[in-house]
Amino acid sequence: MPPLSSPQAIPNVTAPVAVIGDVYIDEVFEGDDRRGASTEHLGGSGLAVATDLALLGVECMLIASVGDDAAGRRVRAHLDEHGIQFLPTVGSHPTGHVRSVHVQGRTHSRYDESTRLRRVDFDDAQLAAIGDAPYVAVAGFAFDDKKQQRKLLAAVRQPQNRLVLDPNPREGLFIDQGRFRRHFERHASSALLVHLGSGDAELIFRSPVDEVTSDLLDLGAGHVLATEGRNGSRWVNRAGLDVSAPIAYFDGPVVDTLGAGDAVLAVAIAALVREGVPRRELDARAILHRAMALAGATIRNRGPHLQDADEVPISAKRTSNAFRVLEEPRHRLVR
């Protein structure tokens, strides 16, 4: 087996990163009154991660389920604008719709049936793209669906070199918490990198995130990136690397926390693409600082991701190599 993240271990280092995840329309209400005025934006972890990757200048594609409707066309227009290839599964049900309420900086969401029943076909085009991708990021996936998780297992070759996981569970979105956990652990046991937030750890495992981090490494995950809200972030691997970084402070109030974890995951994927797996504390800490910078900017913006590359903080664009600032050309749409 070639070394982790070496060119020989990855099918095609020049192919787009494949992101598999959820997409929906998020209708947001301020305060407790759902009858008042609301705003809509595109939501879903899959779309947020893909968008953040594009803003970071990383070529990527999105595999997700949408309906043949106006909302689905809105998703396509957004992805086209950001130069993100879209390989959708077009289901018989509409594009998912979520009603979210912001109360004192926290978000409470109610998912419709279409969102709960999101499924990916893993058709020939999707399988070819997954097979060719240097990394496959899964963010917002129906792990509690036995058929879905089996198709994912079969689709991703060499997961120890390529698979990046974020369970991104949501209360009311998964159907069976126990099955979700068992299937997620099966994939995590052979994943290159697992991202886990403190809320995710409590919801899925009923345990603190530091305990779950150790358990995932014991299961076989290569690296774990843990985020703990105000306590910042931590990168741990099976070789003994264990570093942390505090949150980033910016001017302006926190608007909402949507998309913070997705921003962290996108920065980590961008680092894997450009720098490979971190071996030194210096490299891992640099990734964490960049991730905290992008997450800090995201939570001061309405919606789950920034709107334009100019909004990405310079500190989120730096590499660990003497903190050189990356140029960020617009990526063409891959068809």
304: nearest Cα among 252, 254, 263: 263
Lowest mean pLDDT segment, chosen from 216-225, 296-305, 321-330: 321-330
CA of 222: how far to CAs of 13, 159, 282, in Å? 20, 10, 18
Mean pLDDT over residues 6-25, rounded?
Answer: 82
Q: Where are the strands (E) in 8-149, listed by range?
A: 17-21, 24-30, 38-43, 60-63, 65-67, 85-86, 89-91, 96-103, 106-111, 136-139
Mean pLDDT over residues 262-286, rounded?
Answer: 95
Judged against a pLDDT cut of 70, whether residue 230 lies above it is answered with: yes
Three-class SS of residue 303? Answer: coil
At residue 11, the pLDDT reads 65
CA distance 31 to 101: 6
Mean pLDDT over residues 169-188, rounded?
Answer: 91
Three-class SS of residue 243? Answer: strand
Q: Percent of the chain beyond pLDDT 90?
A: 63
CA distance 240 to 36: 52
- Local structure of residue 87 (DSSP, 8 states): -
User: Higher model confidence: residue 27 or residue 17?
Assistant: 17
Mean pLDDT over residues 238-266, rounded?
Answer: 86
Three-class SS of residue 31? Answer: coil
| pLDDT confidence tier of residue 148, bands split at 50, 70 and 90 | very high
Q: Percent of the chain beyond pLDDT 70?
A: 87
At residue 322, the pLDDT reads 33
User: Higher model confidence: residue 119 or residue 173?
Assistant: 119
C-beta separation of 161 from 155 below 8 A: no
Query: Exposed/middle/buried for 117, CB within 10 Å: 0-12, 13-18, 19+?
Result: middle
User: Higher model confidence: residue 319 or residue 216?
Assistant: 216
Residue in the block written with tokens 């499924």: 119
Judged against a pLDDT cut of 90, whether residue 118 lies above it is answered with: no
CA distance 228 to 257: 13
Mean pLDDT over residues 14-28, rounded?
Answer: 93
Three-class SS of residue 223? Answer: strand
Tell me the two tokens of residue 26: 């998020």
CA distance 108 to 72: 24
At residue 100, the pLDDT reads 80
58: nearest Cα among 317, 335, 321, 325: 317
Tell me the pLDDT of the chain averaged across its residues: 86
CA of 239: how far to CAs of 100, 177, 185, 217, 228, in Å? 41, 31, 20, 10, 22
Tell me the two tokens of residue 254: 């926190």
- Listing DSSP states for 116-161 in one string gives HT------HHHHHHHHH-S-EEEES--TT-HHHHHHHHHH-SSHHH
In sequence order, which residues have a C-beta less than 8 Å from that of residue 323 and are 6 or more positions away? 286
Judged against a pLDDT cut of 50, whether residue 107 lies above it is answered with: yes
User: Higher model confidence: residue 320 or residue 332?
Assistant: 320
